[in-house]
Chains A and B, each alone.
Chain A
Amino acid sequence: MTARHSIEAAHLLARWREAGFVDAEALRPVAAAVVVEARHYEPPLYLKILSAIGTFVATLFFLAFLAVSGLISFDSGTGMMAWGAIFIAGAIALGFTLAKSEETAGITGDLLAQATFAALAVGKILFVAGALEHFDFRTPWVATYALAAVTIVTYPVTGSSLDRLLSPYAVACAALVEILSRTAVGQATDGAMTIFFTVVTAIAGALLLSHRVPVAIRPIGLAALGAMGTVTTIVAIGHDGAFSMARQVLDPRPIEAILTAALVGCIAWAAGGLDRLARPPLAAAALGVTALGFAGAPGVIFALLLLTVGHARHDLPMRVIGILSLPAFLVLWYYGRDMTFLAKSATLIGSGLLLLAARGGMMIMGWDREDEA
């Protein structure tokens, strides 16, 4: 069996009642809400991946058809924007039909959902390409504005969580390209990067760490987390890599400081509040993270951030991404530092031994045997 972690609803309600989380009066509305929520089936990740591959291939075929057939002139920006708007409107209409009709469950519903997603993708690509053509692709921020416009229009009406994740992420990436490689902010690249990173970190924190946030807007938080990862990767690659995009040496320290503060904040959040940082194990963890911040390892801090949030939220995909990104960022760190090879290996061995010593300290203090932090 491959059952997702779950328990019987009646058992959960009984346990909540016993533990005093739900009183007799509130039991009925909570039970009714469970029944309603159980009707909404959230597809697992592998279904989204399968759907995304199908949509990607179909979108390529449709775009190739439009290009070869000559139905749309790719020389006319206005025309492409108009066609893009038509496709988006069609996708929205299809989405509404899908959401309202009970008869579109099952295979018909899946086919319509695929068609909606593909129409949305074709429409967005045409609209953004048209905007770049119409306003001249050299004009700063055109791609960002166009992507933001289509995202704002479609986000409330599209039912696809994948589209809700990818569209805001595309907006963030477009803004990042403007800041880094198109010098849309002039010489203030460092400051703009810091502001950008602060904003995406704040969005990710606000939308992913609070249980009160409606599920519909959480993909924006994941997109912000993705943007954090993109910036972190750029910083971790160092001077020889993506920093050449900006044609100037960027200062990674503000990004590293924000990441360090974010990880310390996440540890406090997972523990139940900032005041908990005074407890010895958590104070040691915060000190260790701060030391890592000074070591200039933003990628490692970001991977630990993913692991911590993923572990706290019982979020398996986030934990898997965290585990996979940890060795990747370690390799990037090795290649990105302006140090001699000898200094690099000494730093690696030193930090490794420090961690193993910390492990020994945890064992002596008995912190590795506790059930809950």
Chain B
Amino acid sequence: MNADVTDDGGIDRIRVDRRIVDRLSARGLVSPAARDFALDLIEPPRRWGLWVSRLVTVLGMSLTLAGIVYFFAFNWDRIPPLVKLAAIALLIAAAVAAVAIAGFGRLVTDAATSAAVILVGVFLAVFGQIYQTGADAWQLFVGWAALTLAFAVLAGSAAAWAVWLAVANVAILTWWDQTHPWGADFRAGREFTLIAFDGAFLVARELLVERGFSWPAPRWTRFYLAVPILVAATLTGIDLLERWGRAATADRVAMLVVPTVFVAFWYVYRRLRPDVAVLAATAIGAAVLTDFALFRLLSSGGRSTDVGILFIMGFATLGIFGVAVAWLRSVARDTGA
């Protein structure tokens, strides 16, 4: 490397990403072959054969499973109850056998474990339909989550955990919906439970990654857990602002929980484990809440909305989101994201 060139304009401190390579190529400064060479250095090689084989595996399994499900749906009334249950049990056994043969930590294992978790739910639903157990929906989902927890724990697969967490979240939602009377405490309580449940798993995820576990390490797993927490906190905050002045017991707790969630996310993902994508989701929730709070304040709790308030809110919204964008931009620069 020519020392004059590297000294030029502080190039030693510059990092080149795909955008810069594309710009150089578009300006004709480097050839398409040089661009591809650079992109292979910047990102992992494309390995088309491996990529296509994975795509074909996932697509083939999805189509076959969907076809089987549709076949049963079409012929449902004509299939004897025992055959229905046996067929689903066989599919579960096949998924477990696939895991046993292929071993852990492979794409096919992730797909088979996820399929097994889903099929247990299908089995429970069919069982409930045949024998008319009279169980509520929340009991089905709680049973589903309880029975498949061992699958998720043993598989050590992020995909299986994602399916399990979705089932568990639906179990929480349906439990609140079907066993609690509607009201302020119901709304806040339901969101708090989701925040606590997903929050516990988010903490566990961070601790496992810190201790060197690789399967929960992909970034999407953090986002998958963080977004429902932030959505629940934002909805609780909006609900609280909507009923400002008519505070129930849960609202007083919400006044503490909602800011705590946002501050915790800011502290952890700004200071301890910088992650701009999670901070962006946090900023969106915080900006929406701030905007709504200001609107409620200016319109005297929603009793009067005059022209001036709409005008002020237009600029205030630009200001709130502009500040959020500026802050995130500075964080992104600091972290190199």
Contacts and interface: CB of A to CB of B under 8 A. Distances in A.
A9 interface: yes
A321 interface: no
Interface string A314-347: 1000000000001100100010000001101111
B64 A349 contact: yes
Nearest to A51: B325
Given A58-B317, A351-B63, A356-B61, A9 B70 contact: no
A100 interface: no
Nearest to A212: B26
Contact of A47 (B48, B280, B310, B311): B280
Give the interface SS of chain B, mostly helix, strand, loop or mixed: helix
Interface in A345-373: 345-356, 358-359, 362-363, 367-373
A213 interface: yes
A8 B37 contact: no
A366 to B, nearest CB: 8
Interface residues of A, number: 106
Given A50-B321, A349-B71, A359 B49 contact: no
B71 A345 contact: yes
Contacts of A270: 48
Contact of A345 (B49, B70, B283, B335): B70
B214 interface: no
Given A7-B16, A118-B314, A345-B74, A30 B1 contact: no
Contacts of B322: 54, 107, 110-111, 113-115
A35 B11 contact: yes
A351 B64 CA distance: 8
A138 interface: no
Contacts of A341: 70, 73-74
Contact of B62 (A1, A330, A350): A330
Contacts of B319: 111
Interface string B50-68: 1111011101111111111
Contact of A10 (B6, B18, B287, B311): B6
B90 to A, nearest CB: 15
A57 B319 CA distance: 12
Contacts of A271: 48
B63 A349 contact: yes
Interface in A9-65: 9-10, 12-17, 19, 21-22, 24, 26-35, 37-38, 40-44, 46-47, 49-51, 53-55, 57-58, 61-62, 64-65
A215 B35 CA distance: 14
Contact of B25 (A115, A211, A346): A211
A101 interface: no
A311 interface: yes
A283 interface: no
Interface of A: 1-10, 12-17, 19, 21-22, 24, 26-35, 37-38, 40-44, 46-47, 49-51, 53-55, 57-58, 61-62, 64-65, 68-69, 106-107, 109-111, 113-115, 118, 211-215, 270-271, 281, 285, 304, 307, 311-312, 314, 326-327, 330, 334, 341-342, 344-356, 358-359, 362-363, 367-373
Interface of B: 1-2, 4-6, 8-12, 14-20, 22-35, 37-39, 41-43, 45-53, 55-57, 59-68, 70-71, 73-75, 219, 274-277, 280-281, 283-284, 287-288, 291, 306-307, 310-311, 313-315, 317-326, 328-330, 332-333, 335-337
12 contacts: A28-B2, A32-B8, A44-B332, A49-B280, A54-B287, A111-B322, A211-B25, A311-B51, A352-B63, A367-B49, A371-B45, A372-B45
Given A22-B34, A111-B323, A372-B47, 15 more contacts: A2-B275, A9-B15, A10-B6, A12-B38, A24-B2, A43-B329, A44-B337, A54-B325, A65-B310, A115-B322, A118-B318, A311-B51, A314-B39, A346-B67, A372-B46
5 nearest A-B residue pairs (beta carbon): A54-B321, A352-B63, A348-B67, A352-B64, A355-B60
